[in-house]
Amino acid sequence: MTKYYRWPDRQLVEPLMHLPGIHWPLEANTIRKNSLANTFGMVRSGGQRAHQGWDLRAYPGTRCFAIADGEIVFVGWRGDYGRIISLQFRHGGRTLFATYAHLSLPLVTTGERVTAGHWIALTGNTGNAESMTGEDHHLHFEVRTIVHPGQGVAGRIDPREIYGVVPLGASYYDTRPAMAQQMGSKAPGLKINGMNVL
């Protein structure tokens, strides 16, 4: 039985918020600046402007993980999102797309099948996040119902529908990727020009 901890105080949190087979996108998950404006919905400009996902605080180079078993259906550049990865997965009878944006380095390719917890990318500040500094550095994370939706919140759902909580005012620490690294079992290796940088 996997245990879940709040971060940074490592207080045990209720496992009920975690659904079987669903991981968190980062090891430590916290809404950027603990601000409602960085959660999902019409949360910006006094309710006039949408934010399409969660901004999870992450310095460039932070490891991102597949939140579920599935297939990588897009790896590439999408305007303000910068470098993104979309992971198609099944949840609650639906096909959804976990989308990770502003990435620096994708570690998977289109068509690749991954399992939950697979290390798929490093965060970055590509796209309109290029001027972000300090604690504004983040992973922009969306759960979409289609691969490439347009403006607004259409084509997305609140990630809260997956996790049952919003990591606002509390950080959620998913120990599973870290444990995989320690055990070295399913941990992905990363080799660049023959040099093992894992």
Specify the residue, 134 or 184, whose C-beta has the smaller distance to Zn ion.
134
| CB of residue 140 to Zn ion, shortest distance in Å | 4
Specify the residue, 38 or 171, whose C-beta has the smaller distance to Zn ion.
38
Dihedrals φ, ψ of 20, to 5°? -55, 135
Residues numbered 132 to 161 that lie near Zn ion (CB under 5 A) are 140
55 binds Zn ion (CB under 5 A): yes
Could you tell me if residue 27 is left (phi over 0), alpha (psi between -120 and 50 degrees) or otherwise beta? alpha
Specify the residue, 105 or 132, whose C-beta has the smaller distance to Zn ion.
132
Which letter does DSSP use for residue 110 in this model?
Answer: T
E strands in the chain: 5-6, 28-29, 41-44, 49-51, 54-57, 63-65, 70-77, 83-91, 94-106, 113-114, 119-123, 138-144, 156-157, 172-173, 191-192, 195-196
List, in sequence order, the alpha helices (H) in the chain: 160-163, 175-183
What residue type is 118 in one-letter code? H
Residues numbered 111 to 130 that lie near Zn ion (CB under 5 A) are none
| CB of residue 122 to Zn ion, shortest distance in Å | 17
Count residues near Zn ion (CB under 5 A).
2
Q: Which span sits near Zn ion by CB under 5 A: 53-61, 120-128, 146-154, 161-169?
A: 53-61
What six digits make up the tokens of 106? 């994708």
C-beta separation of 31 from 160 below 8 A: no
| CB of residue 43 to Zn ion, shortest distance in Å | 10
Residue nearest to Zn ion (CB): 140
Specify the residue, 55 or 174, whose C-beta has the smaller distance to Zn ion.
55
Specify the residue, 4 or 24, whose C-beta has the smaller distance to Zn ion.
24
> Contact positions toward Zn ion, by CB under 5 A?
55, 140
